[in-house]
Structure 1
């Protein structure tokens, strides 16, 4: 098998070129030996449990904002199925460049693979041209049929070029510190008709895996507070608000895929960087941290409240401490072992909804019966509590920080729209069923967690209540510990301190509804609607149809007001807004 053609842009001597060809041949021989051992595990069963776990493992790294790209593997040009791969670690000795006195050594995954990818030497003065930076060029062009300069602002192109350079010149220690628990992306080189070359990420996830990952992101404990949000808003405001939340977030999930449809972009943070510069990356990181912290606090509160309702005596405080103690060792389990258990999150949430329906049908009289519904109202009974419903109804839709990764990892990106439809229809029907059933069963007495009503109401089978508590107890174990294996003492201490902070916050702020209202109003609206629309307007600008730009600006204005008002209301004492 012939080695790849040397890059015309390289300044290497003929001797170095010959060495490159030798290295490539060695690499390909090693590649051939890998095929027989990896064929059965990688490509024989695309939808096997192992591949589902790998797919979720790749999607689970969305919070990473730093431009680290150490988890890439290389696909050879004749690898049509993308099922066999050789890791950067295995090729580092073959592909490491020896820098001359005037050259800058490339100690990064892209740099170490320069021979295979044919990038050549990147000069210190980075040339922002279509030939040197494919970013925001070809991949966007088929969608809109216009040139880069007519669609992309100069600042966006500058940030894109800087991001492209970061992806090639990552610090040496980041490249050396490869994470064996991190499921790698596959990188493949392509050459365009004009002779320019670029490296692209090859998707590996099938449509079922994409739907699974998307549903696993959206289905969570936020649906347990939907009956309360519906009660605050009433039928005439609550149901349209729930529909608006689903439609708006589905739209922004779609435009996020448009924005990230470029070979150099991978994560949500990449979009923030090319749209608004490096400061936007920091802000995005803070938002992700707050969202994850808030979700973990809510999980601990839910766990403690549910266990205390079923087994009174110890008190919610002690159960929170017990939950924190359980979560600490779980954070030292490798992510790969926990990825398969993440399917339990979907199963548990769906089962809780079904159990609530069964309880409502079994019980013949109110409260807590679907056969004898409680009193409800078309309009809010307390208008001052309506802003709380903004965050409560938005809280189940917080998954957009993961959607760029999910989209980039698809084998067939053109099927992303179908996957999105299936995901949102299933999620919306589940959320709607929970909201309607919970309010009909308990009316004005619905609590911040609908499961708390179930566990504190007599007349239900005890074994169903035990199942609810068991499912609630499992959810934190499938959501909180999803992180790479920790090696150093500093990392271990930081992880333990994080769990301690989460537990302490759950003790100081014990109100589940306020936590979810804050997450939904301030974080979900910002991450899921405001920022994606802002990225879209910034990147595509005047190429967006006029009517769509009007809709986007209206969406920005309305959601910004909802976010501010909902966040403020989440911190107002209950007594001041007429709540007991």
Structure 2
């Protein structure tokens, strides 16, 4: 991990260039500056280089370990519930596939973190906190088309993740409450949407830093209970290991990508750090912890239950008092992580509609309430969380986690002329990346694109099937349906 920090610090002290390779016009500079904003309080001393807190950065921020906790809390949860079923769809090859995908996404994520370090060195305005950091990276690396692609993909990815969290929370609380509160899952979706609305009004993840700590603890405890319950339960039918089909394999592939595809929020968390050059270390820690959680849960549950005993939500495969405790833990995670996942979407929309970033007012409340209404409506339209999870995982998650990070990093390192912010006496040479690094990034992009095409097609085919239209919450029968367990 120390090598990542050392490399990021070296980027800070090496001369680099702009996207176009030329001094930019005032209009272009103004356009890029609109992506970011400055806090009211800055640190007066320091240049902001070397990953320090100077150069317009607030003196407070996330530490490297705390940033890792934010990332883990955001990525784990819905992914761990669907991963055993994803492995069942892919067969045993899903276990090594998960490891390979983790290495690919993790490596690309460290390079995405270094992209922001490069931006801070080349363009001083980015040393202030930025509301839309991923879009800024894409703009500087790929121009306006890259910024638009990042904007749309990030909004769809995080919005889809928020919908998944809301639907799973409604499903879990419906199972927990049972006959005590006779509400259907669709009705719980509405209730939770209203209850969670105030949490979305908070400014940035720094305003609720305790949430990911609780979410991570809840997820770890939930995984432990699930594994123990599956191992101790002797009433399972003999496991069957069905050979995957083309469609099932790539549906599982999409679910695996969703569980690993947290890159869309990486720059947002990095921007809240005191030392942004340490972010690659946070990424390494994150994926090591995720693998330590994902692999045992998937291998044990699939090995004991087989393809015939693994529903889309692993909690539905186990019963008993311990499972109720597990559901409470998981519900806590969903409720705490929901606002974190949705926050970058709200920040991006506020930037578009010119809503003040540092003022809690009626404009912020109105805009974020509208976003929540849209989230609830989509959730009621497609109440099966696994279909949204598969679609997002196979499409926009691939772009944000597999394609844009390597592409932006390669492009930012390819420029050779000076920016208007450097002195005329400065010199800059082409920064040549090692061949193994370039080859690895290209392979990550190719694998992501190929898997994305097949996974997206499989997910869309499942969504538009006749059965899907019969289970929407807008059907009165479905909306008011209460299972016999209730």
TM-score (norm 2): 0.73
Which whole-Å CA distance do the structure 1 matches of 2:139 and 2:404 have between them?
Answer: 12
Match of 1:517 in 2: 390
Partner of 2:193: 324
Match of 2:138 among 268, 272, 277: 272
Deviation at 1:405, TM superposition (A): 4.5
1:253 aligns with 2:109: yes
Change (3 A) 1:557 1:167: closer
> CA separation in 1, counterparts of 2:374 and 2:76?
25
Structure 1 residue 548 displacement after superposition? 3.0
Distance 2:328 2:196 in 1: 16
Paired positions, count: 411
Match of 1:283 in 2: 149
1:503 correspondence with 2:376: yes
Structure 1: unaligned runs, 5 residues or longer: 1-138, 193-197, 368-372
Check the 8 A contact 2:81/2:315 in 1, yes or no. yes
Alignment of 1:140-289 (within 5 A): 142-143=10-11, 148=16, 155=20, 186=43, 188-190=45-47, 199=55, 201=57, 204-235=61-92, 237-262=93-118, 263=120, 264=123, 265=126, 267-289=133-155
CA contact (8 A) 1:214 1:403 kept: yes
**Equivalence for 1:553:** 442
Q: Distance in 1 between matches of 2:253 and 2:172?
A: 25
Does the CA-based 8 Å contact 2:190-2:376 persist in structure 1? yes
Contact 1:388 1:569 in 2 (8 A): yes
Secondary structure in 1 matching 2:55: strand
CA deviation after TM superposition for structure 1 residue 415, in Å: 4.9
Tell me which of 319, 322, 335 is aligned to 1:477: 335
TM-fit CA distance, 1:295: 1.1
Is the partner of 2:192 in helix, strand or coil?
helix
Shift of 1:524: 1.6
Equivalent residue runs for 1:94-113 within 5 Å = none
1:535 equivalent in structure 2:
408
In structure 2, the CA distance between the partners of 1:187 and 1:398, relative to structure 1 (3 Å rule), is: farther
Distance of 2:75 and 2:148 partners within structure 1: 24
Question: Is the Cα–Cα contact under 8 Å of residues 407 and 413 in structure 1 kept in the other structure?
Answer: yes
What's the CA shift for 1:155?
1.2
Q: RMSD of the alignment, in Å?
A: 3.7
Q: Which residue of 1 aligns with 2:315?
A: 451
Gapped runs of 5+ residues in structure 2?
Answer: 1-6, 344-356, 415-429, 469-486
Deviates more, 1:296-305 or 1:321-330: 321-330
Matches within 5 A, 1:416-427: 416-427=279-290
* Cα displacement (A) at 1:293: 1.3
Are the equivalent residues in 2 in contact too, given 1:294–1:515 (CA < 8 A)? yes
Q: Structure 1 residue 531: deviation in Å?
A: 0.3
Distance 2:254 2:299 in 1: 17
Cα contact 2:157–2:392 (8 A) shared by 1: yes
Is the aligned partner of 1:398 residue 2:261? yes
TM-score (norm 1): 0.62
Distance 1:452 1:520, change over 3 A: same
Bigger RCO of structures 1 and 2 (CA < 8 A, at least 6 apart): 2
The 3 A distance-change label for structure 1 pair 497 and 514 is same
Helix, strand or coil for the counterpart of 1:481? helix
Structure with bigger gyration radius: 1
Deviation at 1:468, TM superposition (A): 2.4
Preserved contact between residue 206 and residue 410 of structure 1 (Cα < 8 Å): yes
- The alpha-carbon deviation at position 189 of structure 1 amounts to 4.1
CA contact under 8 A between 2:111 and 2:280: conserved in structure 1? no
Contact 1:257–1:407 (CA under 8 A) maintained in structure 2:
yes
**Which residue in 2 is equivalent to 1:374?**
239
Paired residue for 2:451? 562
| Structure 2 match to 1:385 | 248
In 2, Cα distance between equivalents of 1:211 and 1:191: 22
Deviation, structure 1 residue 284: 1.7
Per-residue displacement from partner, 1:37-57 (whole Å, max 9, x unpaired)? xxxxxxxxxxxxxxxxxxxxx
Instruction: Name the residue aligned to 2:349.
Output: none
